[in-house]
Chains A and B, each alone.
Chain A
């Protein structure tokens, strides 16, 4: 706006800024007088964050304004490209809001607040320039961005810069000081992100966006509190915004204070309260589980189900839904050391919990304190638990959980206390792992049964990591795995691995379903070879092993990254019986027309019978099973919420601990009578889990 000179005030011996605005036809005499009047009013604003106007006047047909010389950089320059750190945005924003509050209290509206009008001195002090000068100046002094707007309509009563204009101004309504609060929202958005909230190639597009569209959300590193404040400033209706600049100042100062809820939960519960640690579910239908029964544990996006059958696996009794409305991404059956415990992770707006039941769902733990939690020094909060993995047989109290954001937790006391595996969390690669579509999750944990110190994890998107020393140190094991979404297609790490599987009899060999790519490693993850030989697509999620034959692997290819549905609308499981040299489709009993199904990474499992059963659930809520290793399929259930996890288990006989090796033998070990002592009976470990 005009030309600014650095000048020296010879009377008061100080450096000043001298702004000269050339009068033109559009700045007529009355407008000129009005401008002078406003400038004089603004000069009365004594505030540390407002650039002081010393003098205004008119000479030789030009208006001049003498003001405080502010040395620094404009907020526009500072926030160009990626934006400023959130702490700076909040600090500067509070100062700008403070300046607006003072001006508004004096009845002065800025009308052209924008990052170019805000200067930040080297000591962090913010100065807002040009208070009250925008009105009546008209298009003659609009900057380049504004000119396109000037061509749109008569600007005689409109001032400001288009991307910062409030909707009510564009609608031609009477605008007040709350238009400044809108502009502050635009300024905060721009400062936080380096881009404007409402953009377009033409004035019309920008105006349309301001009037109708919501700004693209600002995620990390912008904290939710700052984003909430910006959103409130950018409410289309003035009544929905903050009503005072001082409210914005208070909000910005408050979130800077970093207040948190202090009282860490204690184990001590006031004696007169005694809230339940276990919730007993009376209104849910439970499966009546007997020893020798076969179970399918089904986790969905709206709760968990427990399906009971016997070794024949023909008829199913359904228990649940447990945890109405919660995401249940991980379930596990732990039959070690005589227990029959079912684990489930639950996630909804009240947080993420790991819970368990020892009576097949009749009662579940409901811990007061979330058992899995990131230490305070990490600054990280648990979002979801993606995997529950049992430790080795000889360590029945050990379990692992893979979580989002990507990290591994371990318990050595059967889930009483959990600790973050620091060796992986502190890995130098971690800051460069990237979230995939489902978030940044550690979703797969594979223990080497032959080497008590060796373990693999898979992270989307981080790749495969292996420890050989019980979790103290980890190395990326991704040589040969493609990452189509990175400039380097074969990086050391950063791959979006969807699932890995190992057969316990061949622990040196791993199979891997990648985000595009199907691989096998024969050397403990050192090198990976493509084995997508004859599959319709090498995109997919689930990969599981046959329970006995280490050369047999099952997958469900989906069409593509964009169209994550069964190829050609035909739901086909593919099986290899030669470790990936060739694959065969298994379709008998599966829908082959308009079956746009998706089988997610943990939604497929096998049982331990002979012949083996294979089970999978789909995102559309169908559950299929095969009792003959995939040769024929039956629909077990439909109408479920989206299935995200399927696990199998055999509830072993307390007395004999018989492990069924054939369907016939298993059937004989499945007495039908109800056992009242079920909850305390001793059972032996099931070998029914397919991938652990």
Chain B
């Protein structure tokens, strides 16, 4: 089963307007899944991760309902059929 990314509005100009993107092959980890997404839509990359390849501090990524911050970040395992959401963190100011 493919892995599905849910794309937030701010990034859809880089995914040809698509709200969700399916990654056909079976990525083992979130890093693999994101790498595949960024191959398809390169503009997404620098918005989600730093130039050092780490998820930006105020961007949350959820696999299902679990924030990957607590499951090992980019090395989190991605099960087949997972739904991955990219969401900016709540912030103030």
Closest 8 CB pairs of A and B: A254-B72, A260-B53, A254-B75, A368-B43, A349-B58, A381-B50, A259-B75, A373-B51
How far, in Å, is A374 (CB) from chain B's closest CB? 6
- Interface: B69 (CB within 8 A): yes
How far, in Å, is B8 (CB) from chain A's closest CB? 9
How far, in Å, is A28 (CB) from chain B's closest CB? 43
CA distance A350 to B31 in the complex (A): 18
How far, in Å, is B6 (CB) from chain A's closest CB? 16
Interface SS majority for chain A: loop
- Interface: A46 (CB within 8 A): no
Chain B residue with the shortest CB-CB distance to A366? B13
Selected A-B contacts with CB under 8 Å, 5 pairs: A228-B70, A247-B70, A261-B38, A265-B42, A273-B40
The answer, among A228, A276, A369, A379, for a CB contact under 8 Å with B52, is A379
- Interface: B26 (CB within 8 A): no
- Interface: A370 (CB within 8 A): yes
Interface residues of A in 234-252 (CB under 8 A from B): 242, 247, 250-252
CB-defined contacts of A366 to chain B, threshold 8 Å: 13
Give the interface centre of B11, B16, B38, B45 by most chain A CB atoms within 10 Å.
Answer: B45
The answer, among B31, B43, B73, for a CB contact under 8 Å with A275, is B43
**A265-B56 in contact (CB<8A):** no
How far, in Å, is B85 (CB) from chain A's closest CB? 15
**A263-B39 in contact (CB<8A):** yes
Interface residues on B, range: 35 or more
Chain A residue with the shortest CB-CB distance to B34? A261
Give the interface centre of A260, A261, A382 by most chain B CB atoms within 10 Å.
Answer: A261
Q: Mark A371-388, 1 if CB is under 8 A from B, else 0.
A: 001101001111000000
The answer, among A253, A259, A273, A368, for a CB contact under 8 Å with B31, is A259
CA distance A98 to B13 in the complex (A): 44
How far, in Å, is A106 (CB) from chain B's closest CB? 24
Chain A residue with the shortest CB-CB distance to B16? A273
The answer, among B16, B36, B46, B71, for a CB contact under 8 Å with A247, is B71
Known: A254-B75, A257-B75. A370 touches B52 (CB 8 A): no
How far, in Å, is B58 (CB) from chain A's closest CB? 4
**A351-B56 in contact (CB<8A):** yes
CB-defined contacts of A368 to chain B, threshold 8 Å: 14, 42-43, 46
Interface residues of A in 266-282 (CB under 8 A from B): 266, 268-270, 272-276, 279
**A349-B89 in contact (CB<8A):** yes
**A255-B70 in contact (CB<8A):** no
- Interface: B59 (CB within 8 A): yes
How far, in Å, is A380 (CB) from chain B's closest CB? 7
CB-defined contacts of A382 to chain B, threshold 8 Å: 50-51
CA distance A374 to B51 in the complex (A): 7
**B49-A260 in contact (CB<8A):** yes
CB-defined contacts of A242 to chain B, threshold 8 Å: 70
**A279-B13 in contact (CB<8A):** yes
**A275-B13 in contact (CB<8A):** yes
How far, in Å, is B16 (CB) from chain A's closest CB? 5
**A250-B71 in contact (CB<8A):** yes
Known: A350-B10, A369-B46. A260 touches B71 (CB 8 A): no
CB-defined contacts of B36 to chain A, threshold 8 Å: 263
The answer, among A252, A263, A276, A376, for a CB contact under 8 Å with B13, is A276
- Interface: B35 (CB within 8 A): yes
**B88-A224 in contact (CB<8A):** no
Chain A residue with the shortest CB-CB distance to B33? A261
20 more CB-based (< 8 A) A-B contacts, given A260-B31, A263-B35: A229-B70, A232-B70, A250-B71, A257-B72, A257-B75, A261-B31, A262-B53, A263-B36, A265-B45, A266-B42, A269-B42, A274-B16, A275-B14, A349-B56, A350-B11, A351-B47, A368-B42, A369-B45, A370-B51, A381-B52
How far, in Å, is A323 (CB) from chain B's closest CB? 12
Chain A residue with the shortest CB-CB distance to B87? A349
Chain A residue with the shortest CB-CB distance to B39? A263
Known: A260-B31, A261-B45, A368-B42. A254 touches B50 (CB 8 A): no
- Interface: A225 (CB within 8 A): yes
CB-defined contacts of B13 to chain A, threshold 8 Å: 275-276, 279, 366
CB-defined contacts of B71 to chain A, threshold 8 Å: 247, 250-251, 254
How far, in Å, is B24 (CB) from chain A's closest CB? 14
Which A residues are closer than 8 A to B by beta carbons? 224-225, 228-229, 232, 242, 247, 250-255, 257, 259-263, 265-266, 268-270, 272-276, 279, 301, 349-351, 366, 368-370, 373-374, 376, 379-382
- Interface: B79 (CB within 8 A): no
CA distance A382 to B54 in the complex (A): 12
Known: A247-B71, A259-B29, A263-B45. A275 touches B76 (CB 8 A): no
CA distance A628 to B89 in the complex (A): 47
CB-defined contacts of B45 to chain A, threshold 8 Å: 261, 263, 265, 369
- Interface: B65 (CB within 8 A): no
CB-defined contacts of B76 to chain A, threshold 8 Å: 254
CA distance A380 to B54 in the complex (A): 11
CA distance A224 to B35 in the complex (A): 21
**B73-A261 in contact (CB<8A):** no
**B91-A262 in contact (CB<8A):** no
**A381-B42 in contact (CB<8A):** no
- Interface: B23 (CB within 8 A): no
**B73-A259 in contact (CB<8A):** yes
CA distance A260 to B53 in the complex (A): 5
CA distance A254 to B74 in the complex (A): 8
CA distance A279 to B43 in the complex (A): 13
CA distance A270 to B39 in the complex (A): 9
CA distance A262 to B38 in the complex (A): 9
CA distance A368 to B11 in the complex (A): 10
The answer, among A274, A301, A376, for a CB contact under 8 Å with B51, is A376
**B54-A260 in contact (CB<8A):** yes
CA distance A275 to B16 in the complex (A): 6
How far, in Å, is B21 (CB) from chain A's closest CB? 11
CB-defined contacts of B41 to chain A, threshold 8 Å: 273, 275
**A380-B58 in contact (CB<8A):** no
How far, in Å, is B37 (CB) from chain A's closest CB? 9
Chain B residue with the shortest CB-CB distance to A224? B57
CB-defined contacts of A251 to chain B, threshold 8 Å: 70-72
CA distance A381 to B46 in the complex (A): 11
How far, in Å, is A335 (CB) from chain B's closest CB? 29
CB-defined contacts of B30 to chain A, threshold 8 Å: 259
